[in-house]
A and B are shown apart, each in its own frame.
Chain A
C-alpha cells in the first residue's frame, strides 16, 4: 500500500508538471514552426502526422499560425481533460483510496477520452489541412481526413480501459461490502 502511494505521488507530480506544458508547447510549436527556433521538431519531441511543407506552398502567415494554434489547442483540450482525470485518479491512490466509486468513474472517463482523441484527431487532421493550405492558390487547397491503424488500436485500447472501469466498479462493490463486514 505504501509503495502504491509513493509511486502514485511521483506520477501525479509528473502529470501536474506536464499539464501546463501541453498548451505552452502547442503555442510555442506553431509560433516557431518553419523557423530556426523550432526546437521541438528538430529535437524530435514533436512528430506530426502531416507534413507542413507539403500542405502549404508559402511561408506560414501570422493568421495561419493563430488558426493552427486555436485548432491544436482545441484538440489538446482532450489531452488536458485526460491529464486532469489522471491527476485526480493518482491523488486518490496517494490518499489510499484504491477501490472507490470515483476511481471507477475516472477509468470510465479515461476510456471515453481515448474515443474522443480518435474522433478529435480525424477532425483536427481535416481542419489543420484546410488551415495550412488556405493560402494556396485556388485548386490547390486541401481537405485531408485520415484514419490510420493507430487510430483503430486507440479505439481498441479505449474499449479495454472501459472494461477495466467495469472491473473497478465491481472491485468497489466488493471493497464496500468488505468495509461493511463487521
Chain B
C-alpha cells in the first residue's frame, strides 16, 4: 500500500513508549503495534485524534503517501 505509517518515528522523537501511548490513546498495545507495523487496514478518526493529541503532532506526521514507482 502507498500509505506509510511513521508512528515509530514520531514516538522516537517524543520519546514515547508503546505502552504509554496505548494507555493515553485508550487502545491495546497489540492494536497500537498493528498500527505501528503498518498491518492496520483502517484508522478511526477518533484514534488518530488521540494519537495526535498524545504526540503533539499533525496527522501528516504519522501518515504519509508514498508514490509507488511504476513498473
Q: Tell me the residues in window 39-60 of chain B with beta carbons closer than 8 Å to chain A beta carbons.
A: 39-44, 47
> Are B39 and A181 interface neighbours, CB within 8 A?
no
Q: Does A182 contact B (CB under 8 A)?
A: yes
Residues in A whose Cβ lies below 8 Å from that of B42: 177, 180-182
The docked-state distance in angstroms from the alpha carbon of A180 to that of B38 is: 10
Interface size class of A (residues with CB under 8 A): under 10
- Shortest A180–chain B CB gap in Å is 4
User: Which B residues fall within an 8 A CB radius of A?
Assistant: 27, 31-32, 34-35, 39-44, 47
- Shortest B68–chain A CB gap in Å is 21
Q: Which residue of A lies closest to B36 (CB)?
A: A182
What 10 pairs between A and B have smallest CB-CB spacing?
Answer: A180-B41, A181-B42, A182-B35, A182-B40, A182-B31, A177-B41, A180-B40, A182-B47, A182-B43, A181-B41
Residues in B whose Cβ lies below 8 Å from that of A180: 34, 39-42
List 22 A–B pairs whose Cβ atoms lie within 8 Å, in order of A's numbering.
Answer: A177-B41, A177-B42, A180-B34, A180-B39, A180-B40, A180-B41, A180-B42, A181-B40, A181-B41, A181-B42, A181-B43, A181-B44, A182-B27, A182-B31, A182-B32, A182-B34, A182-B35, A182-B40, A182-B42, A182-B43, A182-B44, A182-B47
The docked-state distance in angstroms from the alpha carbon of A177 to that of B43 is: 11
The docked-state distance in angstroms from the alpha carbon of A181 to that of B42 is: 5
The docked-state distance in angstroms from the alpha carbon of A182 to that of B63 is: 14
- Shortest A181–chain B CB gap in Å is 4
Q: A181-B44, A182-B42, A182-B43 are in contact. List 19 more A-B contacts (CB 8 A).
A: A177-B41, A177-B42, A180-B34, A180-B39, A180-B40, A180-B41, A180-B42, A181-B40, A181-B41, A181-B42, A181-B43, A182-B27, A182-B31, A182-B32, A182-B34, A182-B35, A182-B40, A182-B44, A182-B47
Residues in A whose Cβ lies below 8 Å from that of B27: 182
- Shortest B43–chain A CB gap in Å is 5
